[in-house]
Amino acid sequence: MNVVGLTTSHEVYIASKERKFRMNELILIEDPNQGPVIGEVSETFSYNRYIPFSVNHDFFDAKVIESLKRLGYSIDEEEVNVAKVKLMTETTYPIVTGSKARVPQFFEVKNLLIKGKKEEGLVLGEIKHTEETALTMEDELKGLFYVLNKGSAEKTKGVPFILDLRSFQQYPHIGIFGGSGSGKSFGMRVIMEELMKKRIPSIILDPHYEMDFSNSSGLPESPDFTFEFQKFQIGEDIGVEFSALSARDLLDLLSAVKPLTEAMSSAVEILFKKGDTYTSFSSRIEDLCEGLEMGKTKLDKMLSVEGLKDSEREKYKRLRELIEEYSNIPLPSVQGISWRLKRLYYSGIFSHDINPVVNALKAGKLSVIQGPIWLLQVFATYILSSLYRKRRDYKDGELKGEIGHEYFPPFVVATDEAHNFAPKGYDAPSKGIIKEIAQEGRKYGVFLVLATQRPTLLDETVTAQLNTKIIFRTVRGNDISTIMEETDLSSEEAKRLPYLPSGDAFVSTPLFGRTIAIRIRYPYSISPHIKNPFDELVEQSKKEKDEYFNLIAEELPIYETTLLKAAKNISSKNPKVVLEVNALKNILEELVREGKLKKEESPFGSFYTEA
Amino acid sequence: MKKEENFTDVSEDLKEKIKETAEKLRERISKRPKRERIRTVIEENYIGEFLKADKLSESELDEIKLKGGIAGVDGSINSIGGVYPYLFYIKRALGLSSEKRREEILLSEVDSPLLLDDLMDEEEYKALLKKGLAELEAKAAKEALERFNPKVLFLDGSLVRFKIEAKDYFEQIKNIALNKNVIVAGIVEGISTSLISSLIRELLPSVFKYSADWEILLGIMDMGEYLEIKPGLFKEGFRTFFMRSSIDPKPIGVDILEEQKEYAKFVANLVYTLTPENSRGIPLWMDIIDKRVKIRDPFMEMVAKSYLGEDFMEVLTPKREKRNP
């Protein structure tokens, strides 16, 4: 390998006849005057001077090239490999053309590749194309995990990519961007696994019900995460404590069911009293509803009726007072609030609290919060605010020297579909708290891991606070330009984004000061629903056909003239099956096509029989 | 502004003149006899025979490979410096075998007219240079024969050129080739002979009386067709054929040794096989060697600067090259 052509003090070209270059490889250039200089391959070319670019040119005749090969002269071997190499640090003078270049030894580039100890960081995967350099790496860093290579999991041969946990103090938040199928979910899973391995208290919002870590992906020596995480269903395991709600929280909750009208919102603000329990609030709503339905006149009339039971009199009086007090609230608004409140109630959300999550966090576990997306969003607002407040109160108390604040650990908040929780351009209940954590979470040790396939739709303030960005394959143009604005990805790297293989990603982090191409390690656990829906369809239809075949088998042979009888027999023997003649004929024909039955001719017409 | 006016003045005038000349030339084309007519005249007057070459099959190519493959030799001249005699010439000759494991033969010589005892004029020196290059190529060819043992050896240019310019080497080449049964073929890209017109002058329209062979043969052969010239008419000691080896209507020339005349068809087939259809008609093999032996100017300059020294280069470089572009 040699430096060729025009050089600058930040970029050179390196050519080699024998060795092919790979993107993002580190190359050491031995400049005779300036000593060793490290660079990274930013573009690769290979060219063959005998097979020029132009198709109309002299040489493009495959037959001739083939004939020459036959004679022993293979033009392919005349290939020259060229790499554009960006220097890590600018040199004082341009590199000397002709300088030798080589693959560096591990110790020569260690500080560029490894930041932090493997025990103290998240080991997310391998740095791409570092196999050669990794040969000279310390044994304790070798083969730490598995990577997927052409469909099968193999032990890594590269240099590990370690995201130092200590660095979170300085660069607290992580963004994960990438389209569907890009490996984004795997990336999220790997981060969660690493957090569990380090016993970092974490909470993940799981709208897709996929964050289960108890199924092993089949790798040898995989850790058991069964006791490192806990799943919580909103409304079943956890919920909100109604009495702890503020009017704002309640509004968010209600509007999550269906957006509230202006009138409804103000009605809630008027009707909700601090310290209300679910019962006190809901009965107030119900009573007001009833009162408004009856109307003042009717209520007065009822109250003037003789011989009314005391309890009834009480009730009418109460209703009368209520409509007096809230006379300006229209009935439809109250009704709207009423059904929203009921829907929330039936989801079970008010029957539980968040203590299980608090306990899990204190135990250093990962809490997986699951629920339908409409509920998850509001609930997230509630739970994140509560947890964040607990941590903030503890830390602030500590700072002020106050004792007696209950200890609450630092924690990581993660979510996929982050653009739903902190959307750009419009308001969402959870946006406020996520923005707050993004901006000042660092101070309190609350960190975000936000994944989205649409970085463009994510709130800009939040995006700007994501210091470390892991970028998987992205196809949309506007997402790519957002990514380019928000990271130090070069335009060459951005051009590669649509073509990144699944599981490959660029990591842009101030910790490394440059973009690193990595391959995410293969997770130890797998998502519970990884079965392809089309496999499922095929399986299902095969199952059905087998069932029909068994039913029909008993009636064989079936003559075309006795179809009706056969259909009746089958239906009568199997109460669940209702078969009429045409359907039976279709199934028979289908089975003939599949070769399970055959159709034969006889003097009595054609008949179906076993093949 | 004035400059532009001048420019248009000249171009108007120039346009007219070019038009006139072009028209005269076009007349020349229109007077060209028909394709069939030329072919008949050539055949009836026993100048040569139109034959058809075939592409070699894989097994035929394998056979060549088993017998040593093919080899080729080409040369190049580069100059560094300024105006004669203030310059250097670098002559190079490259011999290459299709057998990859055989090392290539690369011979070089560096000359400068300044080193002569008596200064000769430029034309004379150029002729000497040409002869020197032919000798160097012939030397490389001889080495190629000895070291590569190929089945076929291609040389760049007519074999006559070697016979004239590098007589001693050529005799040696011939002997070795005949002894080892290596077929030697010269590939001529730019045909400069006028054999056909000299033989049938009276049968041609007056404008074509002195036409070069390529002009007469232009477009009258199909792809893969070649005109084998009857023995005795041309280049004593050699067999020559003109061939349309690609879609380019201009033929190339191929020489082989008279002693190897029975291989004419085989050589034609091989040339046809190795020539890309869309090319100008030269076998790819010869183009590969040509590309390898040529030194690009920037590289040359670099080498010169590092070995001659910047100061000496300064002496050689003419003022005009320092002109701003």
Q: Of all residues in chain B, what percent carry a pLDDT higher than 90?
A: 47
CB pairs under 8 A between A and B: 68
pLDDT over threshold 70, residue A531: no
Query: What's the CA dihedral at B26, B28, B29, B31 to 10 degrees?
Result: 130
Bridge pairing between strands B105-111 and B87-97: antiparallel
Distance between CA atoms of A132 and A159, rounded to whole angstroms?
9
A60 inside 8 A of chain B by CB: yes
Cβ–Cβ gap B275/A64 under 8 Å: yes
Binned at pLDDT 50, 70 and 90, residue A415 comes out as very high
pLDDT over threshold 50, residue B1: no
Evaluate whether A518 touches A161 at the Cβ level (below 8 Å). yes
CB-nearest to B98 from A59, A72, A77 is A72
| pLDDT tens digits, A339-357 | 999 988 888 888 888 899 9
Q: What's the pLDDT at B302?
A: 72
Closest Cα in chain B to A55: B278
B285 inside 8 A of chain A by CB: yes
Pick the residue with more confidence: B322 or B288?
B288
Distance between CA atoms of A286 and A606, rounded to whole angstroms?
71
Cβ–Cβ gap B55/A56 under 8 Å: no
Calculate how close chain A gets to B246, using CA atoms only, in Å. Answer: 10
Cβ–Cβ gap B278/A61 under 8 Å: yes
Interface of B with A in 142-161 (CB under 8 A): none
Which structure tokens are listed for B119? 């200064």
CB-nearest to B284 from A64, A70, A77 is A64
CB-nearest to A61 from B62, B64, B277 is B277
DSSP state of A119: G
Distance between CA atoms of B38 and B196, rounded to whole angstroms?
10
Cβ–Cβ gap B58/A74 under 8 Å: no
CB proximity list for A329: less than 8 A, separation 6 or greater: A263, A267, A270, A271, A288, A292
Question: Is B235 exposed, middle or buried, given 0-12, 13-18 or 19+ CB atoms closer than 10 A?
Answer: buried
The two most distant CA atoms of chain B are separated, in Å, by 73
Pick the residue with more confidence: B154 or A329?
B154
Q: What's the pLDDT at A60?
A: 63
A77 inside 8 A of chain B by CB: yes
Cβ–Cβ gap A60/B276 under 8 Å: yes
Q: Give the range among A318-332, A564-578, B172-186 with minimum mean pLDDT.
A: A564-578
Q: What's this model's pTM, rounded to 2 decimal places? A: 0.69
pLDDT over threshold 90, residue A591: no
Mean pLDDT of B270-299: 86
Cβ–Cβ gap A71/B64 under 8 Å: yes
B274 inside 8 A of chain A by CB: yes
Bridge pairing between strands A35-48 and A79-87: antiparallel
Q: Which residues of B touch A72 (CB under 8 A)?
A: 65, 69, 98-100
Calculate how close chain B gets to A490, using CA atoms only, in Å. Answer: 32
Binned at pLDDT 50, 70 and 90, residue B169 comes out as very high
Q: What's the pLDDT at B3?
A: 46
Calculate how close chain A gets to B1, using CA atoms only, in Å. Answer: 39
CB proximity list for A513: less than 8 A, separation 6 or greater: none
Q: Please provide the distance, in angstroms rounded to a whole number, between the alpha carbons at the two ends of chain A.
A: 69
Mutant choice from B286, B288, B305, B306 vs A, greatest count of A C-beta within 10 A: B288
Cβ–Cβ gap A72/B274 under 8 Å: no
Mean pLDDT of A194-199: 92
Binned at pLDDT 50, 70 and 90, residue B57 comes out as very high
User: HSE of B185 in the Cβ direction (CA atoms, 13 Å)?
Assistant: 32
A50 inside 8 A of chain B by CB: yes
Cβ–Cβ gap A71/B291 under 8 Å: no
Evaluate whether B89 touches B110 at the Cβ level (below 8 Å). yes
Q: What's the pLDDT at A123?
A: 93
Calculate how close chain A gets to B109, using CA atoms only, in Å. Answer: 25
- Report the complex ipTM: 0.78
B76 inside 8 A of chain A by CB: no
Distance between CA atoms of B159 and B240, rounded to whole angstroms?
10
Mutant choice from A60, A65, A66, A67 vs B, greatest count of B C-beta within 10 A: A67
Given CA atoms A205, A353, A439, A391 in this order, what sign does their dihedral have?
negative
Given CA atoms A251, A254, A257, A263 in this order, what sign does their dihedral have?
negative
Q: Give the range among A229-238, A371-380, A389-398, B186-195 with minimum mean pLDDT.
A: A371-380
Cβ–Cβ gap A61/B56 under 8 Å: no
Angle between helices B58-66 and A62-70 (to 10 degrees): 40
Q: What's the pLDDT at B253?
A: 94
Mutant choice from A73, A75, A77, A79 vs B, greatest count of B C-beta within 10 A: A73
Q: Which residues of B touch A67 (CB under 8 A)?
A: 55-56, 61, 273-274
Q: What's the pLDDT at B24?
A: 84
Q: What's the pLDDT at A322?
A: 86
Mean pLDDT of A407-435: 89
Distance between CA atoms of A157 and A536, rounded to whole angstroms?
36
Mutant choice from A3, A6, A58, A77 vs B, greatest count of B C-beta within 10 A: A58
Q: What's the pLDDT at B188?
A: 93
pLDDT over threshold 80, residue A360: yes
Cβ–Cβ gap A63/B55 under 8 Å: yes
Cβ–Cβ gap B58/A70 under 8 Å: yes
Q: What's the pLDDT at B201?
A: 86
Closest Cα in chain A to B273: A64
CB-nearest to B61 from A65, A71, A75 is A71
Mean pLDDT of A549-568: 78
Q: What's the pLDDT at B64?
A: 92
| pLDDT tens digits, A18-38 | 888 988 889 999 998 888 999
| pLDDT tens digits, A251-301 | 888 887 888 888 888 888 888 888 889 999 999 999 898 888 888 888 888
CB proximity list for B117: less than 8 A, separation 6 or greater: none
A389 inside 8 A of chain B by CB: no
pLDDT over threshold 70, residue A576: no
Question: Is A422 exposed, middle or buried, given 0-12, 13-18 or 19+ CB atoms closer than 10 A?
Answer: buried
Q: What's the pLDDT at B106?
A: 92
B17 inside 8 A of chain A by CB: no
Closest Cα in chain B to A75: B288
A64 inside 8 A of chain B by CB: yes
B276 inside 8 A of chain A by CB: yes
pLDDT over threshold 50, residue B98: yes
Task: For residue A322, give the 3-state DSSP assignment.
Answer: helix
pLDDT over threshold 90, residue B191: no
Neighbour count for residue B160 (Cβ, 10 Å): 19
Q: Give strand ranges (E) for A345-458.
A: 366-370, 411-415, 446-452
Average of per-residue pLDDT values in chain A: 86
Binned at pLDDT 50, 70 and 90, residue B2 comes out as very low
Binned at pLDDT 50, 70 and 90, residue A46 comes out as confident
CB proximity list for B16: less than 8 A, separation 6 or greater: none
Cβ–Cβ gap B98/A50 under 8 Å: no
Evaluate whether A308 touches A302 at the Cβ level (below 8 Å). yes
Q: Of all residues in chain B, what percent carry a pLDDT higher than 70?
A: 94
pLDDT over threshold 80, residue B220: yes
Which structure tokens are listed for A501? 């293989």
| pLDDT tens digits, A160-193 | 999 988 888 888 899 999 988 888 988 999 999 9
Task: For residue A428, give the 3-state DSSP assignment.
Answer: coil
CB-nearest to A68 from B55, B278, B285 is B285
Q: What's the pLDDT at A532?
A: 64
| pLDDT tens digits, B231-262 | 887 778 899 999 999 998 999 999 999 999 99
Where do the H-state alpha helices sit in chain B? 2-30, 35-44, 58-66, 122-148, 159-165, 167-180, 195-199, 213-217, 264-274, 284-293, 297-308, 310-316
Cβ–Cβ gap B284/A68 under 8 Å: yes
Binned at pLDDT 50, 70 and 90, residue A533 comes out as low
Mean pLDDT of A565-581: 74
Calculate how close chain B gets to A492, using CA atoms only, in Å. Answer: 29
Q: What's the pLDDT at B225?
A: 95
CB proximity list for B225: less than 8 A, separation 6 or greater: B50, B51, B52, B53, B243, B244
Which structure tokens are listed for A183? 């490996």
Distance between CA atoms of A343 and A375, rounded to whole angstroms?
11
Based on its alpha-carbon atoms, the radius of gyration of chain A, rounded to whole angstroms, reads: 34
Mean pLDDT of A486-497: 84
Given CA atoms B143, B144, B150, B152 in this order, what sign does their dihedral have?
negative
A49 inside 8 A of chain B by CB: yes
Cβ–Cβ gap A74/B273 under 8 Å: no
Closest Cα in chain B to A69: B98
Cis before A557 (ω within 30): yes
Evaluate whether A124 touches A58 at the Cβ level (below 8 Å). no
pLDDT over threshold 60, residue A59: no
Q: Of all residues in chain A, what percent carry a pLDDT higher than 90?
A: 26
